[in-house]
A and B are shown apart, each in its own frame.
Chain A
Amino acid sequence: GENVEQHPSTLSVQEGDSAVIKCTYSDSASNYFPWYKQELGKGPQLIIDIRSNVGEKKDQRIAVTLNKTAKHFSLHITETQPEDSAVYFCAASNTGANNLFFGTGTRLTVIP
């Protein structure tokens, strides 16, 4: 099955700085890579996703990059704000399957 590794497990940044979270995957058949944000006491919520036919995708302060050859993808958050503080999960799946495989999560703290 798919194995998704995520680093770092915790990350603290000053408000206004950038944050980068990295993930690797093992199954070359994976072709869909979403990122979820989980706020305290809530369920995860999709913030951005990327498919294997695209190398980079951006949505305002959030961007995701994908390197299929190296089997890794990253989340970039620029101009961080206190409300970005949360746990972030990467995940991988493929079109023919039903299941998302999640990384172990990164707790991001933005220090005002």
Chain B
Amino acid sequence: NAGVTQTPKFQVLKTGQSMTLQCAQDMNHEYMSWYRQDPGMGLRLIHYSVGAGITDQGEVPNGYNVSRSTTEDFPLRLLSAAPSQTSVYFCASMWGRGNTEAFFGQGTRLTVV
């Protein structure tokens, strides 16, 4: 099992460009989520999904879109990148809701110039 796989690992964007961060898991987990990690602010939830076809907003959703067409994949889209979106992005998956272990990907370091 590969666990949670994120691509790319590094990305530099110009302001206004769009891109998609990919996330895939092979553990058949229902729940997937995206976090951003900024210095001194810990991990903040962007969007999450409790199953295929269902998504919802987290703490900091503005500027990001998600979709969940399959159980395995949960891409994060930046429609018009801004410097404030410079961050490290982590995808995570869980077997179910509430109190179960979250498995994280290796992260994507995004810089918007």
Residues of A within 8 A of B (CB): 1, 4, 6, 9, 31-32, 34, 36, 41-46, 49, 51, 89, 93-105
Collect the chain A residues with CB atoms within 8 Å of residue B106's CB: 41-43
Question: Are the CB atoms of B59 and A104 closer together than 8 Å?
Answer: no
Question: Are the CB atoms of B105 and A95 closer together than 8 Å?
Answer: no
Residue of B nearest to A98 (CB): B97
User: Shortest distance in angstroms between A13's beta carbon and chain B's nearest beta carbon?
Assistant: 21
Question: Are the CB atoms of A44 and B90 closer together than 8 Å?
Answer: yes
Given the known A-B contacts A1-B59, A45-B104, A99-B48, are A89 and B43 also in contact in the complex, defined by CB atoms under 8 Å? yes
User: Shortest distance in angstroms between B57's beta carbon and chain A's nearest beta carbon?
Assistant: 11
Given the known A-B contacts A51-B99, A95-B99, are A44 and B50 also in contact in the complex, defined by CB atoms under 8 Å? no
Q: Roughly how many angstroms separate A102 CA and B40 CA in the complex, as a whole number?
A: 12
**Residue of A1, A46, A96, A98 contacting most chain B CB atoms (<10 Å):** A98
Residue of A nearest to B109 (CB): A41
Cβ of B58 under 8 Å from chain A: yes
Question: Are the CB atoms of B98 and A96 closer together than 8 Å?
Answer: yes
Given the known A-B contacts A43-B105, A98-B48, A99-B33, are A6 and B99 also in contact in the complex, defined by CB atoms under 8 Å? no
Question: Are the CB atoms of A44 and B99 closer together than 8 Å?
Answer: no
Given the known A-B contacts A32-B98, A51-B99, A95-B99, are A102 and B42 also in contact in the complex, defined by CB atoms under 8 Å? yes
Within 8 A of A (CB), among B80-113: 90, 92, 97-99, 101-102, 104-107
Question: Are the CB atoms of B107 and A43 closer together than 8 Å?
Answer: yes
Q: Roughly how many angstroms separate A4 CA and B45 CA in the complex, as a whole number?
A: 13
Collect the chain A residues with CB atoms within 8 Å of residue B90's CB: 43-44
Residue of B nearest to A2 (CB): B59
Residue of A nearest to B106 (CB): A43
